[in-house]
């Protein structure tokens, strides 16, 4: 018995229990015909019971596994924004000449519901996410991104990211920008064509950052109110943001 798996032991226990119950029924009522009829009836319905239980159990287990995976993914996203994402978003917004046209719409409060988030996401589709490349301190940006490269590499290596295309795309965009800046020996002397190329890389990362940030803020509001509170107080689009509760 000790060498059997827990499934085999459980099966034996259930069969023995059922047998004992049938024996008790026979001892009390002395009606083997009745026992036989109900046993056949139960056996006839058994496949349907197995089917129903299997479907329900599988659905519950799949839903639980999906929730666990999403929670792990959002933990990774939180690490990214804590380490680099929020600062990058604040810097890119500072370089956006038209950011004031969307700033008020991105001041997230506790009153926002899913419909409000959806309206904001839809309303941002027309925003150009322009970056004034002449205002970018490329050397400082390169230093910052290289400093955070190990974090991003570890995040990209996480197998859970395979199920989150939008965040994977964001990491790839930021990592690509890092590589573009890292391979250039002198960022102070670049032709206009090269600066335009870097501006597009910056713009790509900026767009994906905003979208992922909104999705992450929605998650925090729904599942982690205490983290959402801090995120609101450090909103990169709020020029009056203050982490101190006053």
- Strand locations in 98-177 (E): none
pLDDT more than 70, % of the chain: 94
Domain residue limits, the chain: 6-60, 71-233
**97 falls in which pLDDT band (50, 70, 90)?**
very high
Q: What pLDDT, in 10s, does the model give residues 13-42?
A: 878 888 888 788 778 877 777 767 777 767
Residue that is written with structure tokens 């939008």 in the block: 166
Ramachandran bin of 33, using left for φ above 0, alpha for ψ from -120 to 50, beta for the remaining angles? alpha
pTM of the model: 0.76
Q: What pLDDT, in 10s, does the model give residues 181-193?
A: 999 999 989 999 9
Number of H-type helices and E-type strands within the chain: 10, 0
Q: What is the separation of C-alpha 14 from the centre of its chain, rounded to a whole number of angstroms?
A: 41
Q: What pLDDT does 31 receive?
A: 73
Q: What pLDDT, in 10s, does the model give residues 53-83?
A: 777 777 777 777 777 777 888 888 999 999 9
């Amino acid at each position: 018995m000790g060498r059997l798996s827990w499934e085999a032991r459980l099966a034996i226990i259930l069969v023995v229990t059922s047998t004992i119950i049938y024996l008790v029924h026979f001892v009390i009522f002395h009606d083997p015909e009745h026992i036989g009829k109900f046993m056949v009836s139960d056996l006839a319905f058994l496949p349907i019971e197995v089917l129903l239980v299997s479907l329900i159990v599988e659905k519950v287990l799949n839903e639980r596994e999906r929730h666990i995976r999403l929670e792990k993914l959002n933990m990774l996203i939180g690490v990214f924004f804590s380490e680099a994402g929020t600062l990058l978003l604040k810097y890119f917004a500072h370089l956006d000449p038209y950011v004031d046209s969307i700033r008020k719409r991105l001041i997230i409060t506790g009153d926002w519901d899913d419909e409000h988030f959806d309206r904001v996401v839809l309303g941002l589709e027309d925003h150009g996410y322009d970056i004034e490349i002449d205002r970018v301190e490329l050397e400082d940006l390169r230093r910052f991104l290289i400093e955070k490269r190990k974090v991003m590499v570890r995040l990209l290596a996480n197998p859970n990211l395979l199920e989150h295309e939008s965040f994977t795309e964001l990491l790839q965009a930021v990592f690509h920008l890092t590589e573009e800046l890292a391979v250039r020996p002198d960022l102070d002397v670049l032709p206009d064509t090269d600066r335009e190329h870097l501006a597009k890389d910056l713009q790509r990362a900026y767009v994906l950052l905003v979208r992922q940030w909104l999705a992450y803020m929605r998650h925090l509001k729904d599942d982690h109110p205490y983290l959402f509170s801090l995120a609101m107080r450090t909103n990169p689009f709020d020029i009056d943001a203050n982490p101190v509760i006053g």
